[in-house]
Structure 1
C-alpha cells in the first residue's frame, strides 16, 4: 500500500489513512516522542494545521462529528489523526479502531477536490 502525502513543508507532513471515511494524519517531520517534546512554536503550528483540517472537513463533507486521536503507541512519534465521522459509517458511534457496527458504503464527494482545498488553505498561512 502506497502512502499518499497530501501536503508537506519543512516541519510537517499530512498523510491520508486508507479508510471508508475521510481520515488524515498530521506528522511532525522531526520524530518527537511526546507532544510536550515538540517546541511550543511547532505545537502552535500543529494545532493551526489541525484547525484547518477540521474546518475543511466540516465544510466539505458535512460529517456528523470530527474525531481527533493521538495514541502513538504503535508508532512512537507525534502525530494527530483527524477523522470525519458519519452516523452511518461502519463503526459509528464507536472509534474506528473499535468494533464494526455495520457494513457501510458512504457516498462522499471527491477526495481529490478536498485535498486541493486543504492545500490551498494551508498555503495561505505562514507555517515555517
Structure 2
C-alpha cells in the first residue's frame, strides 16, 4: 500500500504492539518507564505538519487513545507526550508514563542512565494489558 519502512533505530529499540488506523504502536525496550511509541505508517515523514490534515487528526486521536490506555494500565501521575526527532528523523511520537520518584523525575527520560531492557514475561504481560485497555 505504501513505501513505509520503519527506521532501523526505532525497530532495534522497540517492540511492536499493534497497528492502529494510522500508526504502528510500539513499546520502547526500557523498563524504567512504561514508554510507548507511535509511528505514522507514511513514507518520508519527518515533521507532523508533513502529514495530511486527516492524518494529523488521526495522529491526535491515536495519541490520546494510547496515552489514556497507558495511564489506565500504569496509574501514572503524569503522561509525557512528545516528538523530538533529533536523533531519529522519521516522525514518531513518544508517550511515557511518569511518577514522582521514578528514575530522573522530574527530569527528562532521554539520555538518562542506561536502558534496562524488559524481561520477556513482563513485556508480554504489559503488552497484553495495553491491548486489553485499547
Q: TM-score of the superposition, structure 1-length normalised?
A: 0.76
Query: Which residue matches 1:111?
Result: 126
Query: In the alignment, does 2:100 pair up with 1:87?
Result: yes
Query: Which residue matches 1:11?
Result: 22
For residues 85 and 107 of structure 2, the distance between their equivalents in structure 1, rounded to whole angstroms, comes to 19
DSSP 3-state at the match of 1:4: strand
**1:70–1:2 Cα change, 3 Å:** closer
Displacement, 1:117?
2.0
| Structural mapping, 1:51-90, within 5 Å | 51-90=64-103
For residues 35 and 100 of structure 2, the distance between their equivalents in structure 1, rounded to whole angstroms, comes to 15
Unmatched runs of 5 consecutive residues or more in structure 1 = 101-107, 122-128
For residues 42 and 99 of structure 1, the distance between their equivalents in structure 2, rounded to whole angstroms, comes to 32
| Structural mapping, 1:17-36, within 5 Å | 17-19=28-30, 20-30=32-42, 31-36=44-49
Q: CA RMSD in A?
A: 2.1
Length, aligned pairs only: 111
For residues 10 and 61 of structure 1, the distance between their equivalents in structure 2, rounded to whole angstroms, comes to 24
- Structure 1 stretches (4+) deviating beyond 6 angstroms? none
Say whether the 8 Å CA contact 2:21–2:58 is kept in structure 1. no
Q: TM-score of the superposition, structure 2-length normalised?
A: 0.73
| Structural mapping, 1:40-59, within 5 Å | 40-59=53-72
Unmatched runs of 5 consecutive residues or more in structure 2 = 1-11, 114-121
Displacement, 1:34?
1.1
